[in-house]
């Protein structure tokens, strides 16, 4: 069975600063990896996904993530954040060739301060 650990439950940062949200996963088989964002009072929206190929994945709103198989990590980064990036971010994993279910981490709340 897979599991996902998001190492920080809350990350405060100032506007225009860089940010990294950390995600580690555990699985005995190859995986697909996802980052979702949840703005206040809304459902989740896909930011980016890694299925195969280049380990650096670019998503919407200037976010990117890098898949590191040896470290079983999929950290999310943005070089310069905006107030509007304030939201909760969820990392998720699914087994390749398995059922199409996602296992989610517990989330990281990003707060961007002026």
Partner 1 sequence: DVKVTQSSRYLVKRTGEKVFLECVQDMDHENMFWYRQDPGLGLRLIYFSYDVKMKEKGDIPEGYSVSREKKERFSLILESASTNQTSMYLCASSSRTAVALYEQYFGPGTRLTVT
Q: Which stretch, 55-63, 64-72, 74-82, 101-109, contacts partner 1 (CB under 8 A)?
A: 101-109
Q: Indicate which single residue of 34, 35, 63, 74 sits in contact with partner 1 (rule: CB under 8 A).
A: 34
The residues near 19 (Cβ < 8 Å, ≥ 6 apart) are 11, 13, 77, 78, 81, 85, 110
Rule CB under 8 A: is residue 54 a binding residue for partner 1?
Answer: no
Minimum distance, C-beta of residue 79 to partner 1, in the bound complex (Å): 25
**Cross-strand bridge partners of residue 110:** 11, 87
The DSSP letter of residue 28 is S
Q: Kindly state whether residue 40 participates in binding partner 1, applying the rule CB under 8 A.
A: no
Q: Give the residues across from 6 on adjacent strands.
A: 23
Options 14-22, 40-48, 60-68, 73-81: segment touching partner 1 (CB under 8 A): 40-48
Query: How does DSSP classify residue 62?
Result: G
32 binds partner 1 (CB under 8 A): yes
In the bound complex, what is the minimum distance in angstroms from residue 31's beta carbon to partner 1? 10
Q: Rounded to an integer, what distance in angstroms lies between the CA atom of residue 75 and that of residue 56?
A: 10
Please identify which residue in 81, 90, 110, 112 interacts with partner 1, judged by CB under 8 A: 90
Which residues, in sequence order, are CB contacts of 83 under 8 Å at separation 6+? 15, 112, 114
Q: Does 50 bind partner 1 (CB under 8 A)?
A: no
């Amino acid at each position: 069975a897979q599991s996902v650990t998001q190492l920080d439950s809350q990350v405060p940062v100032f506007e225009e600063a860089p940010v990294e949200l950390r995600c580690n996963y555990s699985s005995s088989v190859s995986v697909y990896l996802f980052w979702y964002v949840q703005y206040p009072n809304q459902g989740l929206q896909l930011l980016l996904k890694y299925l195969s190929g280049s380990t650096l994945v670019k998503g919407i709103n200037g976010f990117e993530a890098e898949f590191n198989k040896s470290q079983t990590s999929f950290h999310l980064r943005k070089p310069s954040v905006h107030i509007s990036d304030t939201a909760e971010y969820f990392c998720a994993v699914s087994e390749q060739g398995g059922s199409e279910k996602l296992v989610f981490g517990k989330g990281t709340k990003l707060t961007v301060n002026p």
